[in-house]
Structure 1
């Protein structure tokens, strides 16, 4: 179990100093993990997903995430008693159900769990997003609720999460702003940072995915559900094209002409504070975009293998060329960004072969 001292000011400030990380974010990560632990202890039947789940699945902190996203198959479950108990046990002051205007038929419930911030010295909160639907994941694993940001008293409690292939299939549907994904705007608010978070997660997952058939199957299941919830506005193929177009917009620095680069580029800047493991900028984003475009092509064109970049074999790429219909402007990445070039060349080869 997580020690109560994990949320103390002394502990949080010490970690922030040693890891050179925003202490407000660290406090929210700690509080989010406490909320998650409380949900598991309540015996609620759920699967944990989203960015915070990736923190546990990777057993490292690549990107800081402060929300708890869960899938609950029992649509009749009541949360008031569960959340009241968590508030008492983990030092949350109250919870509040959020009223959000539904844009589609998705059965979602949102809660804010409030706490007295020892860093900001005012009330703060973490978000709990609950999706009420059947579990579409094909392989679920258990991981410990543990992190370098918390101290444990005894053994870590286990939580159910999708494996790498399954969560990748799910995540891909979220990076499709014109179809099933997070839109460029919600009202007047630009959503670039949230969109880029999805792309970053996808890029990280591509390194671990090893079963293209399973990724494709899970993706299709989630995409079809999202399409149905949105009134059948598109096809699964349209979603994959949307993913590829937004990825190429980033790789071509706004010169693809099929996505909103202004919002995407601002998102790349805004997300920096949430990425813990590396300096993140446009050149890095191009690598993650290239991986994402390639993975969408693997699914669309039913590839049997997920190829991985190997820096030791970069000389093998010296005669490679990216061909139309993928812009040959991307060939200059061969020298400046060889990993991105590798994945974009794979994309080019897949599409060219399919056109024959």
Structure 2
């Protein structure tokens, strides 16, 4: 006698880690932090990718610009990519991406992406595609860059929550503000470990220098920044198979930041300093990622001076926390500064005072080589 009862197949149906409301058009428009709806939608999907990677069991550190969405009390900008650092293999990452496509229903597909900035680095890069409420054509994407080695950060687990825009019931491993600052300070000098010129990354350095300036508002300890800077330098030298020293990074970074301080307005043509020219070209593109929608040359002078002050303090072991905080406040200058150039800089007084402090710590005029 045959069993005539029908077989029942039970399929596991999974949905997004965050509530489905987070992906609704009305919700995004209401909670977009004054960014464009399309950019806010991409940020939602970036955070969902972070949550899904955690939920899928990948071990990683969430770094880069979008990690600030979970670190800052009030986010300032969105990015369209997710940066992680992991000791997991490419195969394991792609296995998790397959799980994300098959089980969560937010992303339609993924594809490999060529990493253009420094293609020799151990980085796995991907596009993840989804259907947009705002983009034309409907299918759009975000990006995932996975550094195939964990970074030497101090980290903590934090909920994947960004105001009322996005919230998921999982946590991600995030660096401390001081760790991100130390790492980002290495990205500025184009001739050492920073972003090379001529890579179509005109706005990228601006993002890093802006993030450093904003994160300094979290009042990180100088010693923690110093530890991060030296640790990340050793880490980057190992990854890039280079032997660049701290003094070389300092010199390159000060040259980059100082060039911006010397120009009262963005150069309208290539002055021979390609990084400076790229800064001018990248202003509008970077401004489009800020909630304020505005990023001026004066603000870039402000941010680069803060970055220059911080990298100088971090490279000088005799500078303590109190001195650093006094200098960063920008309300006074030290006595006996061997620098006559800073008063000639075409920038606001506080920016001039930061360069005064740099000159005092270096015991040399940082602009003497260029005849200011």
TM-score range, shorter chain: 0.7 to 0.9
Q: Hey, what does 1:227 align to over in structure 2?
A: 237
Q: What SS class does the counterpart of residue 161 from structure 2 fall into? A: coil
Offset of 1:353 from its aligned partner? 7.4
Alignment partner of 1:340 is 2:351: yes
Residue 141 (structure 1) aligns with: 156
Q: 1:116 aligns with which of 131, 134, 140?
A: 131
Match of 2:190 among 166, 170, 177: 177
- Report the equivalent of 1:239: 249
Residue 301 of structure 2 is aligned with which of 282, 286, 290? 286
Q: For residue 133 of structure 1, give the secondary structure of its aligned residue in structure 2.
A: coil
CA-atom RMSD, angstroms? 2.9
Alpha-carbon distance between aligned partners in 1 of 2:365 and 2:280, rounded to the nearest angstrom: 31
Aligned to 2:64: 50
Offset at residue 74 of structure 1 (A)? 2.9
8 Å contact from structure 2 (residues 60, 85) kept in 1:
yes
SS for the counterpart of 2:363 is: helix
**Offset at 1:248?**
1.0
Offset of residue 194 of structure 1: 0.7
For 1:296, the equivalent position in structure 2 comes to: 311
Is the 1:30–1:149 contact (alpha carbons within 8 Å) kept by the matching residues of 2? no
Mapping 1:2-81, distance limit 5 Å:
2-16=18-32, 19-75=33-89, 78-81=92-95
Equivalent position of 2:260 in the other structure: 250
1:166 paired residue number? 179
Cα deviations by residue, 1:190-248 (Å, 9 ceiling, x for unpaired): x2201111110111122224322221222122223323444426333211211111111
Q: Aligned partners of 1:212, 1:310: CA distance in 2, in Å? A: 11
Residue number in structure 2 paired with 1:198: 208
CA-CA distance at 1:112 after TM superposition: 0.7
Show structure 2 runs of 5+ residues with no match: 1-16, 367-372
Secondary structure of the corresponding residue to residue 251 of structure 1: helix
Q: Is the 8 A contact 2:117 2:196 kept in 1?
A: no
Cα distance in 1 between the residues matched to 2:218 and 2:306: 12
C-alpha displacement of 1:326: 5.4
Residue equivalent to 1:307: 325
Matched with 1:150 is 165
- SS at the partner of 2:203? helix
TM-score of the superposed pair, with normalisation by structure 2? 0.82
Cα deviation for residue 249 of structure 1 reads 1.1
User: Which protein is bigger by CA-based radius of gyration?
Assistant: 2
Aligned CA distance change for structure 1 residues 128 and 268 (closer, same or farther; 3 Å): same
1:259 deviates by 6.0
Alignment gaps of 5+ in structure 1:
none
Identify the residue that residue 13 of structure 2 maps to in structure 1. none
- Equivalences, count: 340
Shift in Å at residue 76 of structure 1? 6.3
